Structure 1
């Protein structure tokens, strides 16, 4: 009788152990803290330019044109807000370029992310951008006078 009791308790214990599983339905990806305010830090072009005429060239137009700025706010309630200077890059003679800033673009909407990409809905201004290490990158991939990429860095 004692052997039956031990066998029964062992069977119950094993059944309980095997029936417990990770069924929380959670994602297998790590949580990423995307929420916050991001400032435009880089507007990258395909070749270094000296737009401001100071003798120093850069592939980042933010170093060359003081009039360019931008902010992207990503909220926990899955909404976003965006404002960025409208600017054009114009080719002039001898590989020289001119940047003209006028007004700004505004956008709002909803967002979703898998931790690597962020999809911005509600406006065509942003689309789907890459997220890594508190940096959001919008790749345009164009050669001058077009833009290669925009990089937003999270405020600390």
Structure 2
């Protein structure tokens, strides 16, 4: 009986130590859980400010210049994504000025996604590729100079 009285507290303490391991996340949510949801396009960034809508104010975010731009990424918990976004055409005019317009063909896609740290890879899409998660923002950094697009930024819908 004495052995049980000695062993039982020892087993209890051992169990407590093992159940509170150092692998606890400290309240952090893994990227693969943070990314699940609906993401709305909030920025289409270009390398130099343009006044495409001729309102007297130039912007590096084409969404401030063209009302027709929209986009959404739906990322679900089954590692499937769907995507729809307005196609954008940018052409050179002269003197560092460019003409941008929404095209009649939307860009769409679907496929599987994986998370590795803060990098979310969208398999089956050359348009999305790998995006970087930072808080409530997903950024697709393309880094093209005009007449290309530098980045797309999506914000998680509440």
Per the alignment, residue 9 of structure 2 pairs with: 13
Moved more, 15-24 or 120-129: 15-24
Query: How many residues align structurally?
Result: 151
Deviation at 1:105, TM superposition (A): 1.1
Give the CA RMSD over aligned residues. 2.4
When the two structures are superposed, what TM-score results if normalisation uses the length of structure 1? 0.83
TM norm structure 2: 0.82
Residue 88 (structure 2) aligns with: 87
Q: Which runs of 5+ in 2 are unaligned?
A: none
Which runs of 4 or more aligned residues in structure 1 lie more than 4 Å from their structure 2 counterparts after TM superposition? 26-29
Alignment of 1:70-149 (within 5 A): 70-102=71-103, 103-114=105-116, 116-149=118-151
The 3-state SS of whatever aligns with 1:42 is: strand
Deviations 1:104-137 (A, max 9, x none): 1110011122451211112222111111221110
